[in-house]
Amino acid sequence: MANSFSALCSLLFFILIHSVLPSVLGPRHWWPPHGNIRVKCPYKKVDMSWYSGTVNPCPGLIQPICGTNFMTYENPCILCIESLKSKGRIRFQHDGIC
């Protein structure tokens, strides 16, 4: 009986956490909403402002995406890197060329 009670409490806690946390943390967005590849960029957790180079973690992928700085990036992976470098100031604006 006690074992099933602890399992029930664990299940209720799991449901509570997964229903409350998204509303507290805000919506999670994948960049872009449509396309061949979508990236969930952890722009708030990773600080790459010290990195001044360019990198393409998705070579060969051509999927234009527009950032909030009105620059067109070759693919969502590059936009994510630029977002990390700008500490989240550059974000997803819309699919396609700006």
What's the pLDDT score for residue 66?
Answer: 95
Q: What is the pTM of this model?
A: 0.64
pLDDT band at 96 (very low <50, low <70, confident <90, very high): very high
pLDDT in tens, 47-61: 788 888 877 888 888
Return the beta strands (E) in the chain as ranges.
65-67, 72-73, 92-95
pLDDT of residue 69: 96
Q: What is the CATH number of domain 28-95?
A: 3.30.60.30
Domain segments of the chain as ranges: 28-95
Give the per-residue pLDDT at 64: 94
* Distance of alpha carbon 94 from alpha carbon 89, whole angstroms: 15
What mean pLDDT is predicted for residues 9-19? 47
Structural contact between residues 85 and 48, judged by C-beta atoms closer than 8 angstroms: yes
Starting at the earlier edge strand, list the strands of the sheet with 72-73. Answer: 72-73, 65-67, 92-95
The pLDDT tens digits for 29-84 are 677 777 777 888 876 677 788 888 877 888 888 999 999 999 999 999 899 888 88
